[in-house]
Amino acid sequence: MAVRAKLLIGAVVLAYTGLAGAIGCTPAAAEALLLIDAGTGKVLHAENAGYPWYPASLTKLMTLYATLQAISDHRITPDKLITVSAKATAQAPTKMGFQPGTQVTVDNALKMLMVKSANDMAVALAEGISGSTEAFADEMNATARRLGMVQSSYVNPNGLPADNQITSARDLGILARSLIRDFPEYEFYWHLPGIKLGKRVTRNYNKLLTSYPGADGMKTGYICASGFNLVATATRNGKHLIAVVLGAPSSATRALKAAQLLERGFNGGTLTWLTPSLGTVDELTPIAAAPPNLRDEMCGDRHRGKPAAEDEETASGDSDASAVTLSALQAPLEKGFSLNESSQPAGDPVEVFTGPAKQPSRAELIAEAKWKAAAPTAVRSVPIVTGSTNKPATPAKVASAGPWTSLTPTPLANASAPAIAAALAEPPAGVPLPRPRPANAARKH
């Protein structure tokens, strides 16, 4: 696998040798910024967006994409149980810390992956889908090529330090757009507020989800070599934007820079008509250079105490994050707007658990039955299931959603008319609700 990865990197570099002036260049500043329109792909702002970068846990966006693709291709189901191997258990933090042999569903593993940034869950998913992390990395690389991510190379599914684990702001913009475009029914995965495992609650590292109006995604990342990375998405008045920040010096700074970019996109500017067009994200020029290594800046002697893994971000001295206002930044901002934890509700953490998927409760069956009665054409809605924040799609969205692609078998998909009627009637407590018949249940003769 190491030889294959080196050959891939070599091929990528050779592909850029014809770009005049690109060879040997390094970013003028140790950060990369990108702002694009999620719908059109139009680039609204770019700084060093074509330079290679270490992705850290932003890698998990590709792990998510590849997993959702496997679900879409019917290779796996969200309820499939995957086993945590000794290799998964041995991963460095952040991780869930399950013992080898523990089983979790694909759905729960994805929730832990996206909220906790769990490195062990990334390996468990890779092995459960492709048989090995090496085979899964091959799938990740093939997917990257198909999406047009010409600067990206993957050797592991979690983003732990590896010389050949490389991407760019350009490629991450393409990947974020692809997730939004290709898997809209699974968008909740990238804006879960938190997860709850037993009594243990973990909040999403993406602080913009609770501090920036309209924020709805997507993922954070950090290793010493990369600095603090963030892909952030937000929607206002029908406008959906993607901001990428790579190489920020702290988690607070990356959140502020992302918010600054998003504000610029939502508010526009009085002289935007004078700004030359930057084209679309896939038209940004890839730069042939080695990724900047920020280890000394992030974790050198003068930065002792800086986190070495993403689960330590809160210990990085960023307690001023909520006190810094966006008005202190240079981009045009909404008057009086400040970045703080009370800007929008966090929402309840989502229950995650080990073992098989839970059966829906009577209350959940009632909720779905009522919704289907009110919108009978929306028969492909994402179900409301135990431990999920999923909400049914609107009829218009469902109408264009294509084949059924739910997270778990829809509770009432095969229910009898009496069962639906009983659910809608909301029988008194203690009166059992008829259970829906599983689609693959054996018939009794």
Q: Does one domain contain both 310 and 402?
A: no
Q: Does one domain contain both 385 and 243?
A: no
125 in a domain, yes or no?
yes
At residue 87, the pLDDT reads 98
Model pLDDT for residues 218-232, shown as the tens digit of each residue = 999 999 999 999 999
Q: Does one domain contain both 76 and 161?
A: yes
List, in sequence order, every residue forming a beta bridge with 52; answer none if it has no partner. Answer: 168
Q: Does one domain contain both 260 and 385?
A: no
At residue 167, the pLDDT reads 98
Q: Does one domain contain both 300 and 398?
A: no
Asked if residue 7 has pLDDT above 70, the reply is no
Q: What pLDDT band is residue 135 in, cutting at 50, 70 and 90?
A: very high
Q: Does one domain contain both 231 and 307?
A: yes
Sign of CA dihedral 381, 387, 388, 389: positive
Residue closest to 69 by CA, chosen among 132, 121, 140: 140
443 in a domain, yes or no?
no
334 in a domain, yes or no?
no
Task: Report pTM.
Answer: 0.75
338 in a domain, yes or no?
no
Q: Does one domain contain both 365 and 220?
A: no
Model pLDDT for residues 139-177, shown as the tens digit of each residue = 999 999 999 999 999 999 999 999 999 999 999 999 999
212 in a domain, yes or no?
yes
Q: Which helix (H) or strand (E) holds 439?
A: none
Two tokens, residue 440: 């693959």
Percent of the chain clearing pLDDT 90 (strictly above): 59
For residue 322, give the CATH number of its domain: 3.40.710.10
At residue 359, the pLDDT reads 75
Pairing of strands 43-47, 52-53: unpaired
Q: Which helix (H) or strand (E) holds 144?
A: helix 133-147
283 in a domain, yes or no?
yes
Q: Does one domain contain both 419 and 302?
A: no
Q: CB-based contacts of 139: which residues, under 8 Å, 6+ apart?
A: 66, 129, 130
Two tokens, residue 348: 């309840």
Higher pLDDT, 274 or 95: 95
Contact (CB, 8 A) for 249 and 297: yes
At residue 408, the pLDDT reads 36
267 in a domain, yes or no?
yes
Q: Does one domain contain both 381 and 308?
A: no
Asked if residue 122 has pLDDT above 90, the reply is yes
Q: Does one domain contain both 386 and 323?
A: no
Higher pLDDT, 415 or 110: 110
Provide Rg for the chain, Cα atoms: 23
Range of the domain at 15: 2-328
Q: Does one domain contain both 248 and 373?
A: no
Average pLDDT, the chain: 77
Q: Does one domain contain both 188 and 239?
A: yes
Q: How many domains does the chain have?
A: 2
Asked if residue 425 has pLDDT above 60, the reply is no
18 in a domain, yes or no?
yes
